[in-house]
Amino acid sequence: MKNILDFDYSGLQSYLINEIGIEKYRTDQICNWIYKKRVFDFEEMTNLSKQDRSFLKDNFVISIPQIIKKQVSKIDGTTKYLFGLDDGNTIESVIIYYPSRTIACISTQVGCPLRCEFCSTGQNGFVRNLTTGEIAGQLLAMEKDINIDVKNIVYMGMGEPLLNFENVLNSIEILNHPKMKKIGARHITISTAGIPHRIEELGDVDKEFRLSVSLHAPSNVQRDKIMPINHKYPVEQVMQACRIYQEKTNKRVTFEYILIKGFNDTREDALKLVELFGDMKVMVNLIPVNSNPANFEKPSKKFIDRFLDTLINKGIDAVVRAEKGSDILAACGQLKGKVKEENLR
């Protein structure tokens, strides 16, 4: 049985026509039920004939991740979901509310192979890539739960999106397609720890999504200590790939930089970053490190402000990212591991 959420628009259309014998114009109706009305049962698709519904049921399932646990922040409404997948694996996704927009943070892998020191996801290792339908399905499941059309997506949940390249791109195709989820590509952000050849390939994808790179340290000596992937792809290679990406797309690249007390938070570190960026068009998100397996600490406000000011004085667009959902450990890299711990208590 195939998960209908694995199909992009043209793939679904040709499957319906060629394999099942359902008329072409029905594709839009089916997509409308699933992606706009969030109806996940063919029987409820009342504008389809009985026969078409039964053909659909014989060929497809509509497999949506199941909510196993849900936590809502009392501080800011941030909502963290633990989802169960068909094979019993679990992943997490988060809904974050800002005054002007709602953002869905979704996962791309069960676990993560990168094992960054500060991140909880990698601690239990890597299990498998998510399918296209599992990636897109997280959004549908959350939308159905909160009954809101979410218009912003960040691929910043569990896993490394660029190590699940094909399914991530397919899911973007589905989320972006006007007849499917219809989320503006500009409102979709892929976050990566930096897989150079994939960053370059992203530059050839003709879509206006945004790229965010988790840099976190301005030198190889420092980055090696917190991100093992840096041994394989050193900082210069990542930056060079970003340059090529920018040449191809003319898009600004966002860099994520977690601030860790006594590790990467000095004025000199900020100046090294500026040097790394050179004449690239960049935006920097500074994130005081969240509670993490390695027990890294956040710098004091004085250090954070000085780091920010150093970047801004050098003409770099930078902000300190506000912490969301701290009471439910919804922040980046704190997913699942914590839920597991809590369940064991």
User: Whose CA is closest to 1, among 84, 68, 67, 86?
Assistant: 86
Residues 213-252 that bind ligand SAH (CB under 6 A): 214
Instruction: Please give the Cα distance from 212 to 189 (Å, whole number).
Output: 7
Rounded alpha-carbon distances, angstroms, from residue 264 to 45, 71, 192, 221: 55, 32, 19, 11
| Selected catalytic residue, list 44, 256, 332, 341 | 332
User: Whose CA is closest to 209, among 253, 166, 178?
Assistant: 253
Cβ atoms 167, 132 nearer than 8 A = yes
**Binding range to ligand SAH, per CB under 6 A, among 5-13, 81-89, 190-198, 312-320:** 190-198
Which of residues 6, 134, 160, 269 is near ligand SAH by CB under 6 A? 160
| Interaction between residue 258 and ligand SAH (CB under 6 A) | yes
Instruction: Please give the Cα distance from 345 to 327 (Å, whole number).
Output: 17
| Interaction between residue 102 and ligand SAH (CB under 6 A) | no
Count of chain residues binding ligand SAH (CB under 6 A): 17
Query: Per-residue contact track with ligand SAH, 27 to 66, x per CB under 6 A?
Result: ----------------------------------------
| Selected catalytic residue, list 19, 23, 92, 173 | 92
Which of residues 42, 118, 209, 233 is near ligand SAH by CB under 6 A? 118
What's the closest the beta carbon of residue 110 comes to ligand SAH, in angstroms? 13
Which H/E stretch holds residue 105?
strand 102-105
Partners of 103 in the β-ladder: 96, 152
Which residues here bind ligand SAH, judged by CB under 6 A? Answer: 116, 118-119, 156, 160, 191-193, 214, 256, 258, 287, 289-290, 292, 332-333
Active-site residue numbers? 92, 332
